[in-house]
């Protein structure tokens, strides 16, 4: 762990103790790493509302229900974490911004609610 003295900031996100596990419909986590506890807290506090906002925005645009939780989480992460980008998939493989991609959506029955 490489934290600065006063502010407790970790500039090497791969070694950061600040992370959030985000679970998608498959029940497997994607881990988002943060440079500070403040950024981690902001992400956790805003994630649910931001996810709902993104789902509603795209559902209105296309006219059918979309669940875009991981897309919303990545977008929010980029907006909050300004000192880098590092996430791990459920296999433990780490990704930086330049080698990261999201692939596809699944088709399913419409959920009422």
Write out pLDDT tens, residues 71-104: 999 999 999 999 999 999 989 999 999 998 888 7
Which H or E element spans position 32? strand 29-34
Identify the residue with better confidence: 83 or 2.
83
CATH code of domain 13-99: 3.30.70.3560
Place of tokens 């059918």: 64
| Domains of the chain by residue range | 13-99
- Which residue from 31, 2, 4 is spatially nearest to 19, judged by alpha carbons? 31
Place of tokens 């956790």: 44
Residues 6+ apart with CB under 8 A from 4: 10, 11
Contact by Cβ (8 Å): 19, 40: yes
């Amino acid at each position: 762990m490489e934290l600065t003295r006063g502010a407790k900031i970790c500039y090497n996100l791969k070694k950061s103790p600040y992370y959030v596990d985000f679970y998608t419909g498959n029940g497997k986590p994607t881990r988002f790493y943060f440079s500070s506890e403040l950024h981690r807290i902001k992400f956790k506090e805003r994630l649910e509302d931001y996810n709902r906002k993104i789902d509603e925005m795209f559902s209105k645009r296309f006219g059918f229900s979309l669940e875009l939780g991981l897309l919303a989480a990545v977008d929010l992460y980029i907006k909050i974490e300004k000192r880098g980008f590092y996430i791990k998939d459920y296999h433990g493989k780490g990704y930086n911004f330049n080698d990261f991609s999201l692939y596809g959506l699944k088709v399913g029955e419409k959920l009422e609610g």
